[in-house]
Structure 1
């Protein structure tokens, strides 16, 4: 469920007649009795306030006995302390039914009881399933059973016959053995008011006292975390408490909407009613949920899909879902039959997590490419009039759509390349590439565009330098284009960028170093690899996702080639290993030293 609009739907209904009034009152009980209503956002508070007002209006038209019967319906309980407090202010029959059906946590009870009306607190003594902490709280507040007190606690005027003397005669030997309070001459000790009321004070029965002792004993044993075999047990013949077990797998069946209606073994009460298309605790739409919804709508099998169940500890956690659609003899879809199983733990191999993430990204991109490719194909069919003549206006729109689809597919390719490079699944092809020639060619392509803005990127080359790298020319050209084009698109009006390409030889290594100053727009970015600068002219386009992503992809390509791409102050510095051999190779651009573009 993407959003819960049930409360708004109920409030929009204008009901008439006794049956309609009762139905709407019962619906409001269900919705306001859920614990998550209290946690709604600020925008829902007015809606909840309107629901409370509507419930009060319905209560004036429905008699108290009918409302109490609805609250006492078998199998229904509510977990909202707000609803319990609201109903406790109403008629005694309604208040008694509400406090008997409330299923609250210890914290909710502790905050609710002091706020209850005095006449409603006594109804809680009719319950025998309250936590021990709440029983103690009721004792402290002086909330006792409504039965008659024991004979020893009757007032003196009712317990003593009229002929019994009072005053000093009450202390005579003939009055010994009489209850102290019957004479009324001996005050209670001061500390009696501070001590915890015992069973005789509160009028609790022997059975309730024994139940309290058993509950206290079990709680202390759980807190001590003793072993079942060595923990002392009361001689009541009960079995030792066993640790909660974890279920490894179970079968299930659903209806046509994806709701579980049957489960194998003793798992049924834990999962029946859950929906595959809206699992508990999901909250928002993700790829997994969309895949399940798509499979259910298309009546397709579900195989090896990761799933998360919430609820009892025995079923909570991660699962792997396998299910097949079922059909009756007439060919009608009847639901799914499948199995939940715990996922096999993965071995802790370095890079395994990154590889799995890269696989997920590639699977996502594959799912996205399919509709984009279809859109591109249909647009080209219209633009090329393969199925018949089409108006020129439609052909122009189709051509624009096909171009946009091509750019989107190119962006998907960049995402896929970055994911594979960062996880080591892709390597740069070997070959021989001349960095000086490639950089000069790229700057020559960029120069005419920058001239319209009176901007330029000037490249300085070290004389007599060999700048060959042992990698494929196309890969190196793409790397340089991403770097230089991202810098060029950020150039402001009249701004000049200086770049220098030098060999660095020393300590047994030979590297090519390209240093390029950053334009003012990029220099202000705190994280250059997250910059959002986008091209203002379609003639220079380093990528679909802007300069920051292009820098990140170029950095991944440089690392895969054994080099680096880093920011040093206001400069971007690219280093790549040079091609070395027994005899030094001559530079192809010795004569072009000091050349520039723009």
Structure 2
């Protein structure tokens, strides 16, 4: 006799890190999406625990991350209970769930009257619902999308949100089939109708405030700024010029795009991919894969132009054709510069890395399955070995990422993101991280500038932190016993007049004796400090490529290693250097 213990196996796992939390949430989506509550043979307490675990995970995972997991292309679920449960969550989660639900007509008929009014509106975005379901939505007056709920800024809003949360059931919802449909109050009773809320605002003023909050919350996002409607009051929105190079999509059986990644969807949803008699139309009719199809898009400047289409037909488990899943890539400009030998070599390296990632990722995945006992108990020795293999695979993958980043930077395929970072603060923080490791041997870094010094550079904080770590960790790993590294900061003007930040670090004796600091053969002695998988020479070469991509440089001047980066503004040093 066989039984399905996958749900119990998932609930036995203790999710600690962010990755394991998301993995467990995705596993619960799969398992709860395939079954009905209170099916014959189900353990009701186990199902209740699963719903509780899902709600607990939802509090730890951001709503946009959960929505992305639900919106993954090709994933659908057939459980009306899961649709009902997720419809009470955040708007983006509810919208994603009701878009991915693949229910029978009778399940929709029982579910829709019980959905929150806000959630019903999301169903109007679908074009694949049965005719009777469309008619039910029309009878319920679901015609358009509404404004998002206001942020709970005032105390009365917070109290109302708390009351709604308290009223929400904490256990699994009752079976869809056994719940009688509730009558729909088409006309609110006079007792429930209010002209003013508790704060004294009229309904019109509250609506105006919601619109203002809606526009304020979207004003800082350039993508949302392009999509948001504006009244013709004469003002001009500052919209950055941008173009897209590729995006994923899903198309229905008629060849119209009905899903795309979130920042592109408003510009392409509803667009038909083919005409009456082209090759793409013939492939659609024959349910064949499409490779390199020519598509011309018009509309917003970000998508206007010629595109190359790669797509695969998609079928449900019962064999019913549901459309295509694919990707559109912008056709490169023929007038663009032909890549040189270095660019072609870097492209071959990136392709090789892509081929190598697949087996390493598979090894890592199988090791994690054994270590976490996802498919059953395993001896402790096997779990320890699997954990070591997973860690080694993670280090190898991180090394691949460094190789890929270097290839992209040296060929101009990627760039350092602009931003604002305090170089002085990054140097102080990195030196403090290295100090506990170097202190036992009397070594360390000595920043020779005042604590109040601030030197603002025009780099993204994450990119700037990674660059400073590669430089200082490489020097720290090469330190001998009692060796102290002096670090100074200054500002200067480049020959072109650009204000630059200058970080000067003394070279340890082992590196000062090297002929070429950036050679692959340059390696430090054994150290617990890890600047990169491939040694000091490679780490410094990657740091040099990052500095050059940011508009600066990294080079050797005598016994010093000099890093220069563009200043955000010339008045960036607020304290005199020591």
TM-score grouping bracket, smaller chain normalisation: 0.3 to 0.5
Give the alignment's TM-score, normalised by structure 1. 0.39
Asked which structure has the greater CA Rg, the reply is 1
